[in-house]
Amino acid sequence: MQSQAVYILLALLSAIMMGTIGVFAKYAALPAEQITFFRLLLGSLFLIK
């Protein structure tokens, strides 16, 4: 039962992080291509680990 709570917490954390991408994009002053590249790079690194 506790492992299910951990997965729910991780899902909520990922949803919050995905929701804040607009804030980071606004203040980063980088092109959309670079923001997308690094976002996908970090995501793939987390999935590999």
State yes or no: pLDDT of 29 exceeds 70.
yes
Instruction: State the pLDDT at residue 44.
Output: 92
- Mean predicted confidence (pLDDT) in 17-28: 85
Residue spans per domain, the chain:
22-49
pLDDT at 37 over 90: yes
User: pLDDT band for position 21 (50/70/90)?
Assistant: confident
Query: What local confidence, expressed as pLDDT, does residue 49 receive?
Result: 66
Mean pLDDT calculated for residue range 22-27: 85
pLDDT at 12: 93
In order of 20, 27, 36, 38, 45, the CA distances from 30 in angstroms are 16, 8, 10, 11, 21
